[in-house]
Amino acid sequence: MKLNTRAQSAQSPNNNSPIVLVHGLFGSLDNLGVLARDLVSDHDILQVDMRNHGLSGRSPEMTYAAMAQDLLDTLKANNLEKVTLIGHSMGGKAVMALTALAPEHINGLVVIDVAPVDYNVRRHDEIFAAINAVTDAGVSTRQQAAAIMRDHLNEEGVVQFLLKSFVDGQWRFNVPVLWDQYSEIVGWEPVAAWQHPTLFVRGGNSPYVTEACRDELIRQFPEARAHVIAGAGHWVHAEKPEAVLRAIRRYLSDTAN
């Protein structure tokens, strides 16, 4: 599947690796915009809507093998030979899966607040309940949707994040498939070791990348380095964008060809 994309050319011509930004569950290509606005100064940028999200195609399948193939199809459609991939959460797992499918297309890898493990835990049932409550109410405005979601969700930041995908009374993600395929989204099939520098950025307050994940992370990404952003949770790039960008830029500088 060729994904819906937004492409931007670097503001300063150079030979830097293009960057592909890949969002997480319930997101869209806008979600990593804070990173795009900075990195476009000296990198071509491609933002993508993952399958069953945004304006990309719909499918009953949400495996990481399928998502990695989507990314490869999209790279080829955009004539991108070698790129640096930055993925958050579900998007982080998708870019890690691409290392097994098409390592020759990857110049660098940044994974934001997720580990290459099967989490085997449901963290989003309250979000699904809030989304379904909005759908059942048949409301059409974001203000109406927000009022309903606040009955289910305590974090205003999560409410505002979800509202970005509520357009003209419709969700821009495929709720039934995301629910049906949730075990695939939180799951993981281990990949062969990718023997290149990889940056893992995690929020200091997030439960997604812990010491329990360390052995599997190092086994699959033996040249990984970790950067912890203190005082941030799972949406670390939204909470502490400057700190995340500093870590990414340090990585890009260290790994530049």
Catalytic positions, please? 89, 234
Pure H helices in the chain: 33-39, 64-77, 90-101, 125-137, 142-149, 156-163, 175-180, 182-186, 214-220, 236-239, 241-255
Pairing status of strand 45-48 against strand 5-8: antiparallel
Whether residue 26 contacts residue 50, with contact meaning beta carbons closer than 8 Å, is answered with no
| Sign of the dihedral defined by the CA atoms of residues 141, 146, 147, 151, in that order | positive
SS3 24: coil
Whether residue 170 contacts residue 55, with contact meaning beta carbons closer than 8 Å, is answered with no
Q: Would you give the distance in Å from CA 132 to the centre of its chain? A: 23
Q: Report how far residue 31's alpha carbon sits from residue 115's, in angstroms, rounded to the nearest whole number.
A: 20
β-bridge partners, 110:
86, 199
Q: What is the CA radius of gyration of the chain?
A: 17
Query: What is the crossing angle of helices 156-163 and 142-149, to 10°?
Result: 140
**Amino acid identity, position 125:** D
Element (H, E) at 226: strand 224-229
Q: Report how far residue 206's alpha carbon sits from residue 113's, in angstroms, rounded to the nearest whole number.
A: 8
